[in-house]
Amino acid sequence: MPNGPLSLPARLYLLAWDTTKGRLTGSTHLHHLVRAGALTELAQRGLLFDDDGIVTPVDADSRTGDVVLDGLLELVSESLPRGWKQWVTCRARVTLDAVRAQLAAEGYLRAERKRVFGIFPSVEYELDRVPVVDALRADAREVLEGPVPVADVADREAALVALATAAELRTFASPKERRVHRARIDQLTERGGAAAPALRKVIQDVRTAVVVAATTAASTTAATTASN
């Protein structure tokens, strides 16, 4: 697979790109989705565990070699104790910025430096590897639709689909498709935490937080549109 080395948060970010229109979607809650992916991958790797609802590093000195995941491990280690749902939102843009920088450094994105009002420096990103993202989406949709039994789906792939559908990424699945595959999505959510009962709870908590973030963002956008 061309996207094999990519982390879960990086793959979720890329799934949010509309490759036909060349633009990013779901930006109002994308930082929450990316953070959820990072938390999930660290939990699946056994580097974060649930201590009576609190996100806890197994070892403060553990590292993955991935700058995004290691940055979150360090942040969790140095911060006040928080639950999984809190960590989905707490300083989530830090993880999003790290994912963008990583993908730009690896050639998936092209960074364009600009100045807002001719004064304030800003960076905008364009997608450079459209075929890779299309292949990633095709692989993920195969997990969503079958025919591979859920029991044979890798934990990481199951978590990818569970989180992408929770965030209601239209670039991945339409509302109708999410309804049609609801039972399989629930099974994939369970599969994402197959390694241990505690991990299943973690995946559920993180996915719930993503749903809340997506719903809140949609409501805020609708209210702003109505007021205008």
Helices and strands in the chain: count of H runs, count of E runs: 10, 6
**Residues near 116 by beta carbon (within 8 Å), at least 6 away in sequence:** 122
Buried b (16+ CB within 10 A) or exposed e, 156-180: bbbbbbbbbbbbbbebbbeeebbee
How confident is the model at residue 219, as a pLDDT?
60
How confident is the model at residue 2, as a pLDDT?
41
| Dihedrals phi, psi of 78, to nearest 5 degrees | -95, 0
Whole-prediction pTM value? 0.89
| Dihedrals phi, psi of 24, to nearest 5 degrees | -90, 140
pLDDT grade for 14, boundaries at 50, 70 and 90: very high
- Residue with the bigger pLDDT between 108 and 2: it is 108
How confident is the model at residue 1, as a pLDDT?
37
pLDDT grade for 193, boundaries at 50, 70 and 90: confident
At position 188, the amino acid (one-letter code) is L
With contact defined as beta carbons under 8 Å apart, do 153 and 188 qualify? Answer: yes
How confident is the model at residue 113, as a pLDDT?
75
How confident is the model at residue 173, as a pLDDT?
94
CA distance 202 to 33: 15
By CB atoms closer than 10 A (0-12, 13-18, 19+), residue 142 is middle
Q: What is the pLDDT of residues 67-107, one digit of tens each?
A: 999 999 999 999 999 999 999 999 999 999 999 999 999 99
Q: What is the pLDDT of residues 205-224, one digit of tens each?
A: 888 888 888 777 666 555 54
**Could you give the percent of the chain with pLDDT greater than 70?**
89
pLDDT surpasses 60 at 4:
no
Please compute the mean of the pLDDT values over residues 16-42 and round it to a whole number. 92
pLDDT surpasses 80 at 167:
yes
CA distance 32 to 28: 9
Alpha carbon of residue 11 to chain centroid: 7
